[in-house]
Structure 1
Amino acid sequence: MGDPETWQQEQISLAYVSAVATHAGCTIAAWNVDKDGVDVTLKRNHITVDLQMKCTHAATLLSDGQTYSFSLDAPTYNKLRDPYRSSAGFLGLVVVERDLDDWLVHSQQDLLMRCSGYWARVQDLPNPGNVDSKTLHLPKSQRIDSLGIDEMFDYAFKRLFPNAPEGDFK
Structure 2
Amino acid sequence: MVSHVRATLPCRSAASVPTLSGSVTVKQRLKSRGSCRASRVITSRTPDLHGGLGYACRSVTGGGHVGELETWQQEQISLAYLSAVATRAGATSAQWNVDKDGVDVTLKRDHIQVEFQMKCSFSPTVLADGETYAFDLDIRTYDHLRHRNRSAAGFLGLVVVPRDLNDWLVHDDEALLMRCAGYYARIQNLPAVTTETTTRIHLPKKHRIDSAGLDKVFEYAFDRLFAPQSREGGQ
Q: TM-score, normalised by structure 1?
A: 0.94
Q: Which residue does 1:168 correspond to in 2?
A: none
Q: Which amino acid aligns with 1:114?
A: R
2:176 is the counterpart of 1:106: no
Distance 2:173 2:194 in 1: 52
Distance 2:169 2:126 in 1: 23
Q: 1:164 to 1:127 in 2, by over 3 A?
A: closer
Q: Quick one: which of 115, 118, 131 aligns to 1:53?
A: 118
What secondary structure is seen at the aligned counterpart in 1 of 2:217? helix
Q: Which amino acid aligns with 2:77?
A: I
Distance 1:143 1:96 in 2: 14
Q: Which residue does 1:62 correspond to in 2?
A: 127
Runs of 4+ in structure 1 off by over 4 angstroms are: none
Q: Which residue does 1:38 correspond to in 2?
A: 103
Q: Which residue does 1:78 correspond to in 2?
A: 143
Distance 1:92 1:15 in 2: 12
Distance 1:137 1:130 in 2: 16
Q: Could you list the per-position Cα deviations for residues 126-158 of structure 1 after superposition, in whole angstroms to 9, with x for gaps in the alignment? A: 001242101000000000000110111011011
Distance 1:4 1:11 in 2: 12
Distance 2:130 2:195 in 1: 30
Tell me the C-alpha RMSD between the 2 structures: 1.4
Between 126-135 and 136-145, the greater mean CA deviation after superposition: 126-135
Q: 1:109 to 1:62 in 2, by over 3 A?
A: same
Query: Structure 1: which 5+ runs fail to align?
Result: 166-170
Distance 2:86 2:158 in 1: 14
Q: 1:163 to 1:142 in 2, by over 3 A?
A: closer
Q: Quick one: which of 197, 203, 207 aligns to 1:142?
A: 207
Between 29-38 and 127-136, the greater mean CA deviation after superposition: 127-136
Q: How many percent of aligned residue pairs carry the same amino acid?
A: 62
2:133 is the counterpart of 1:133: no
What secondary structure is seen at the aligned counterpart in 1 of 2:207? coil
Bigger relative CO (Cα 8 Å, ≥ 6 apart): 1
Number of residue equivalences: 165
Q: Which residue does 2:186 correspond to in 1?
A: 121
What secondary structure is seen at the aligned counterpart in 1 of 2:158? strand
Q: 1:15 to 1:163 in 2, by over 3 A?
A: closer
Distance 1:160 1:129 in 2: 28
Distance 1:143 1:15 in 2: 16
Q: 1:65 to 1:163 in 2, by over 3 A?
A: closer
Tell me how far 1:160 sits from its aligned partner. Answer: 0.3
Q: TM-score, normalised by structure 2?
A: 0.68
Tell me how far 1:125 sits from its aligned partner. Answer: 0.3
What secondary structure is seen at the aligned counterpart in 1 of 2:128? coil
Query: Structure 2: which 5+ runs fail to align?
Result: 1-57, 60-67, 231-235
